[in-house]
Amino acid sequence: MTGPVPDSWHAEEAEEAGAPRALGLEDQLALLDRVRGLEARLAEYSAGGRAPSNVLSAEQEVVRMQSSLAWRLGNAITRPSRIVGRLRRRR
Amino acid sequence: MSAPILIETWSSDDETAVSANARLAKTDATHVLWLQSPARLAPGALALLGSVITRFDPDLLYGDSTVNATDEVRVLRPAFSPLRLREQNYLGPVVVMSVAWMRSVGGFDPAADGIHGYDFALRYDGAPERVVRVPEVLSVLPAVESPHSAEPDAVTRALAARAVRGSVERREDGSRRVRYDVIAEPLVSVIIPTRGSSAEVRGSGGPLVTRAVRGLVESTSYPNIEIVIVADDETPQSAIDEVLATDNHRVRLVRYSRPFNFSAKINAGAIHASGRYLLLLNDDVEVIESDWLGAMLGLAQQPGVGVTGALLFFEDGTVQHAGQLYQRSWAGHIGDPGHSNPPGSFGITREVSGVTAACALLSADDFWRVGGMSPDLPGNFNDVDLCLKLGMLGRSAVFTPDAKLFHFESKTRDATVQPWEIQVLRERWNTRLLLDPYWNDSARP
């Protein structure tokens, strides 16, 4: 926390800048934000809990993507290297 | 699900509430497919519905339509949106309901003959995830849909049944508005972060924050507000003086002496706010219609609503914000010229993935429950993160066109997004940013 610059504005403030009460509450908010963020990241790794409408839309999007020209071309181009990779893993 | 699925198709042509209730009492079906005349079922729709019901056991289903059996005009439906449903029957002509649920809510309402599918959906009070939008064509329409004359009365009954205080009105463009009464006139703390920037707007210059505060004081009909100005050290004394001259009784000044961080400034303002509701407001906005805050507050007080956003215009009158859109691992605004306007979508209150913090209203309790705005996102996407954190608590984001403001964003903001900002957002919300449940790109077949 830095203090106000010397030629800054002057007026009655709601609370003295940098008051411990305010800083403590800011820390509390930041901590809660971290917790919510970690919960969100954890949920990202969880397969369950998705709403059926979202599951159906995602499945439709996958089908759409896999039927696209770009996907089919990429699939055809990379097929030989995938076959070679599979054979190597078997040995 | 153990019992076999049996879907019976009932048509609005054949059934009144009396006959349908008699049939509902006797039927062995597990589900009723309500088909609204004159639409017809799309080929393969029944089999598709059967498989979806087997997988998810929902209470209610609906899906997309085509017009005249061509894919040229395809009507794409949003995910279940209860507030939008009151203003627009977006369900389409095929609504499938579980018989057990239909019986549990008392069956067909004789007052809703002609619109029973819509009426049932209005009465739905269960878990939102038990209403499923099937993203496939279920019905074929002979022409583009138009509202049924019985819909407003059905909405009025639905409001009364839930003890929601409000009225159903007709908008100028012919669409429907639900005007929610504000309950108990709570104090709203308007938090405006500023550095006192000046710009010329419509020929007149001066600090933008003064213009914003003047709009709050002189052009806002909702009376119970306080204004919390979070001002950088660099804010010119003249801007502070002008703000105080506008209304020094309701203005609180909070000094911000650290490097720029929009989130931290909002959080600092929230700490000094005493209202039950917080309105996050940029300093570069101008009020257009005086009842904007009452419209937002009436919505914010509805159960399940987390954050309410406004219709924002650029200075030239084009739409800057009609809700946010999260798709293809990106988050942006719905507005001109980037998006088309699927029938009425800019002009009705509707659920959205998120709203901009340039003008967003939420309860102080919810703000604290989610940890406010993330200081890890100092410039961009902090509002996206806030809305998604609220969503994690089961709170929705709602856009309303009944709060209109100008947003002179281009005057003050560098819109550059740094790669690390989108990275921080994706680490938290990667999956949620892939597909937007509330907005379907109408250009896509």
B117-139 tens-digit pLDDT: 999 999 999 999 999 999 999 99
CB contact under 8 Å between B369 and A32, yes or no, is: yes
B201 DSSP assignment: B
Q: Tell whether B441 lies on the interface with A, counting CB pairs under 8 A.
A: no
Residue B385: its chain A contacts at CB < 8 A? 37
Q: Nearest Cβ partner of A53 from B133, B231, B268? A: B133
Distance CA B93, CA B39 (A): 6
- ipTM entry: 0.85
Residue B7: beta bridge partners?
Answer: B31
pLDDT of residue A6: 67
Between the CA of residue B119 and those of A10, B76, B126, B159, B188, what are the distances in Å? 59, 20, 15, 12, 35
Q: Nearest Cβ partner of A11 from B253, B375, B388? A: B253
Residue B378: its chain A contacts at CB < 8 A? none
B142-151, B267-276, B430-439, range with the lowest pLDDT: B142-151
B281 Cα distance to chain centroid: 18
CA angle (B163, B105, B115) in 5-degree steps:
85
Distance CA B71, CA B65 (A): 9
Distance CA B174, CA B71 (A): 27
CB atoms within 10 A of CB B86: 26
pLDDT of residue A59: 92
B373-416 tens-digit pLDDT: 999 999 999 999 999 999 999 999 999 999 999 999 765 556 68
Which amino acid is residue A80, in one-letter code? P
Q: How confident is the model at residue B147 (pLDDT cuts 50, 70, 90)?
A: confident
| Residue range(s) in chain B whose domain bears CATH number 3.90.550.10 | 7-169, 188-433
Tell me if residue B440 falls in helix, strand or coil: coil
Q: Tell whether A63 lies on the interface with B, counting CB pairs under 8 A.
A: no
Question: Within the 251-290 window of chain B, which residues sit less than 8 Å (CB to CB) from chain A?
Answer: 252-255, 257-258, 264, 267-268, 270-272
A41 half-sphere exposure, CB direction, 13 A CA radius:
12
Distance CA B67, CA B249 (A): 58
Residue A85 C-alpha, separation from nearest chain B C-alpha, in angstroms: 30
Distance CA B35, CA B117 (A): 8
- Per-residue pLDDT, averaged over B158-162, amounts to 96
Residue B55: its chain A contacts at CB < 8 A? 52
Instruction: Assess if CATH 3.90.550.10 describes domain B7-169.
Output: yes
CB contact under 8 Å between A61 and B388, yes or no, is: no
Which amino acid is residue B354, in one-letter code? G
> DSSP labels for A37-70?
HHHHHHHHT--S---HHHHHHHHHHHHHHHTSHH
> DSSP labels for B12-28?
TTT--HHHHHHHHHH--
CB contact under 8 Å between B434 and A58, yes or no, is: yes
Residue B368: its chain A contacts at CB < 8 A? 29, 32
- Per-residue pLDDT, averaged over B199-207, amounts to 85
Q: Nearest Cβ partner of A12 from B136, B233, B253? A: B253
- Per-residue pLDDT, averaged over B418-430, amounts to 94
pLDDT of residue B345: 79
Residue A36: its chain B contacts at CB < 8 A? 370-371, 389, 392
> DSSP labels for B220-245?
-----EEEEEEEETTS-HHHHHHHHH
Question: Within the 89-108 window of chain B, which residues sit less than 8 Å (CB to CB) from chain A?
Answer: none
Q: Nearest Cβ partner of B58 from A33, A36, A52? A: A52
Q: Mean pLDDT over all residues of chain B?
A: 92
B129: left (phi over 0), alpha (psi -120 to 50) or beta: alpha
Cis status, amide bond into B337, omega within 30 of 0? yes
Residue B134: beta bridge partners?
Answer: B63
pLDDT of residue A1: 44
B18 pLDDT above the threshold of 80: yes
Residue B268: its chain A contacts at CB < 8 A? 22, 26
The answer to whether B150 and B114 have CB atoms below 8 angstroms apart is yes
CATH of domain B188-433: 3.90.550.10
CA angle (A85, A88, A89) in 5-degree steps:
90
Size of interface A-B (CB pairs under 8 A): 132
pLDDT of residue B411: 54
Q: Locate B342 and state its tokens.
A: 């699927």
B70 pLDDT above the threshold of 80: no
Selection from A16-20, B174-178, B333-337 with the highest mean pLDDT: B174-178
B186 pLDDT above the threshold of 50: yes
CB contact under 8 Å between A3 and B257, yes or no, is: yes
Q: Which residue has the tokens 């281009």?
A: B410
Q: Tell whether B376 lies on the interface with A, counting CB pairs under 8 A.
A: yes
The answer to whether B187 and B227 have CB atoms below 8 angstroms apart is no
Residue B209 C-alpha, separation from nearest chain A C-alpha, in angstroms: 15
Distance CA B327, CA B343 (A): 20
Cite the DSSP H helix spans in B70-132: 82-87, 99-104, 116-123
Distance CA B432, CA B240 (A): 41
pLDDT of residue B424: 94
pLDDT of residue B443: 37
Q: Which residue has the tokens 């996407």?
A: B381
B445 pLDDT above the threshold of 50: no
Averages of pLDDT over runs of 10 residues in chain A (91 residues) are 69 82 92 96 81 92 92 94 92 80
Q: What is the largest CA-CA distance in chain B?
A: 77
Provide the residue ranges of all domains of chain A, joining segments of one domain with +: 20-45+53-90
Distance CA B228, CA A78 (A): 59
Residue A15: its chain B contacts at CB < 8 A? 254, 272
B76-104 tens-digit pLDDT: 999 999 999 999 999 999 999 999 999 99
Q: Name the helix (H) or strand (E) containing B311.
A: strand B305-313
The answer to whether B326 and B433 have CB atoms below 8 angstroms apart is yes
Q: Tell whether B236 lies on the interface with A, counting CB pairs under 8 A.
A: yes
CB contact under 8 Å between B228 and A15, yes or no, is: no
Proportion of chain B above pLDDT 70, given as a percent: 94
Which amino acid is residue B426, in one-letter code? R
CA angle (B221, B225, B229) in 5-degree steps:
120
Tell me if residue A86 falls in helix, strand or coil: helix
Q: Locate B437 and state its tokens.
A: 């449940």
CB atoms within 10 A of CB B281: 29
Q: Which residue has the tokens 């996102």?
A: B377
pLDDT of residue B242: 93
CB contact under 8 Å between A33 and B235, yes or no, is: no
B427 pLDDT above the threshold of 80: yes
Cis status, amide bond into B152, omega within 30 of 0? no
Q: How confident is the model at residue B69 (pLDDT cuts 50, 70, 90)?
A: low
pLDDT of residue B444: 39
B345 against B418, higher pLDDT: B418
B33 Cα distance to chain centroid: 28
Tell me if residue B133 falls in helix, strand or coil: strand
B252-309 tens-digit pLDDT: 999 999 999 999 999 999 999 999 999 999 999 999 999 999 999 999 999 999 999 9
Q: Tell whether A44 lies on the interface with B, counting CB pairs under 8 A.
A: yes
pLDDT of residue B338: 57
Q: Phi/psi of residue B255, each to 5°?
A: -85, 140
Q: Tell whether B132 lies on the interface with A, counting CB pairs under 8 A.
A: yes
Tell me if residue B313 falls in helix, strand or coil: strand
CA dihedral sign, ordered B314, B277, B332, B338: negative
